[in-house]
């Protein structure tokens, strides 16, 4: 059994807009996070159909930190990519949460119930937007989780994340 926590929360009002870091945010089933580009229909991929939806994305802070300290390239050199959780363009940074194992599983983020729908693999758009050329390889299979919001509620920094 595991238990993790919300480290930070981020939304952006439009595609390519800087992420805004919040202490709390309201989550809406079928829509997303209040003020976020995908809830507003202004995200980069909003016009494209989505398998699993774009209601909320999560990323492990451990994966973000590993970009700078732990991940090496094929030549054995550290990637050395310094990136903040907000720069990953994911909505919720977690600690102690095995996100890859939550695909097709229900979990709680504070009082909000979610269901993991698919991995959120890094894309060329993210790599270009952050101007970090090795970001895609560094976050491959560690780029986070897309999730569906099942119950409305407020998510706060410090909230517990646990299996439902």
CATH number at residue 15: 2.40.33.20
**Which residues form the domain of 64?**
4-163
List, for residues 74-95, the tens digit of each pLDDT value.
666 677 778 889 988 899 999 9
List, for residues 8-42, the tens digit of each pLDDT value.
999 999 988 999 999 999 999 989 999 999 888 87
**Mean pLDDT across the chain:** 87
User: Can you give the pLDDT at residue 74?
Assistant: 63
Three-state SS string over 24-35 comes to: EEEEECCCEECC
Structure token pair of residue 155: 């998510």
**Nearest alpha carbon to residue 15 among 37, 31, 33:** 37
Give the mean pLDDT of 139-163. Answer: 94
Q: What is the pTM of this model?
A: 0.88
Q: What's the total number of domains in the chain?
A: 1
Bridge-partner residues for 163, per DSSP? 107
């Amino acid at each position: 059994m595991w238990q993790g926590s919300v480290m930070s929360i981020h939304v952006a009002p439009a595609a390519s807009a800087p992420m805004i870091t919040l202490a709390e945010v309201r989550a809406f089933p079928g829509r997303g996070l209040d003020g976020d580009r995908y809830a507003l229909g202004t995200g980069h991929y909003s016009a494209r159909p989505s398998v699993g939806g774009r209601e909320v994305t999560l990323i492990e802070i451990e994966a973000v930190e590993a970009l700078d300290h732990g991940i090496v390239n094929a030549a054995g050199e550290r990637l050395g990519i310094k990136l903040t959780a907000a720069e990953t363009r994911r909505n919720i940074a977690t600690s102690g949460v095995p996100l890859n194992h939550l695909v097709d599983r229900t979990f709680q983020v504070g009082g909000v119930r979610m269901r993991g729908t698919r991995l959120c693999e890094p894309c060329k758009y993210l790599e270009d937007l952050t101007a970090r050329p090795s970001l895609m390889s560094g976050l491959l299979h560690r780029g986070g989780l897309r999730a569906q919001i099942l119950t409305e509620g407020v998510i706060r920094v410090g909230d517990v994340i646990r299996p439902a």
